[in-house]
Amino acid sequence: PKDAVKALKKKLSKNCNHKEIRLTLSLLDMCMENCGPRFQSLVVKKDFCKDKLVKLLNPRYNLPIDMQEKILTFIMTWARGFQGMVDVSEVKEVYLELLKKGVEFPSSDSSTRVSKQKSSQPSAKTSPSSTSPAKRSLFPHPTGPTLLLTSEQIGKLYSELDMAKMNVKVMSSILKENVPGSENPDDMNLLQVCYQ
């Protein structure tokens, strides 16, 4: 997996050939779908997501909109997590940074619509960019009604989730350090505050 990710990094680094970047992004998408957690965990690291993918969004690369959306879709999807055991904290951090900067991410509705259109009938009018498998394939398929959240709401949910994780860590460390019957009163008060 390390060599594969290294090769992908090399293909994306300082490359201005749009066709090559498009093919590399498609390959990346297929690898993320078909490879295991070892490969996925290397891709969702900051040095790949931020230093390679987000850098391609720089105006000097002049990427077409569909390729920019593909990169943003990757980051958004990876930040939401995987079915397996992959730590997505670094890509989530990149995602939140982009949200704070005001970057608009593609909506999952338009990607799902493109997916349905392609699977039902291939059309000669459909551009190659809209039928690209990398644009839609990483989205989870919702089974029920979907809520549409603004980027601010998503950011707030992530920050609340991070706060809850921090509280769990604090509670866990307090519980590990205290011996039943000889608890520190300050620790017990903090435990009560975290519990609420």
The domain limits of the chain are 2-141, 149-196
- Could you report the per-residue pLDDT of 2-61, keeping only the tens digit for each? 888 888 888 888 777 889 899 999 999 999 888 888 888 888 888 888 888 888 888 888
C-alpha separations of 107 from 70, 149, 150, 151 in Å: 11, 10, 10, 11
- Could you report the per-residue pLDDT of 55-91, keeping only the tens digit for each? 888 888 888 888 889 999 999 888 887 656 788 888 8
Average pLDDT over residues 147-156: 71
- Could you report the per-residue pLDDT of 116-131, keeping only the tens digit for each? 333 333 333 333 444 3
Name the CATH topology of 2-141: 1.25.40
Q: CB under 8 Å, gap of 24 or more: what pairs does 75-83 form?
A: 75/49, 75/105, 76/105, 76/106, 77/138, 77/139, 78/32, 78/43, 78/44, 78/49, 78/138, 80/140, 82/37, 82/40
pLDDT confidence band for 114 (50 / 70 / 90): very low
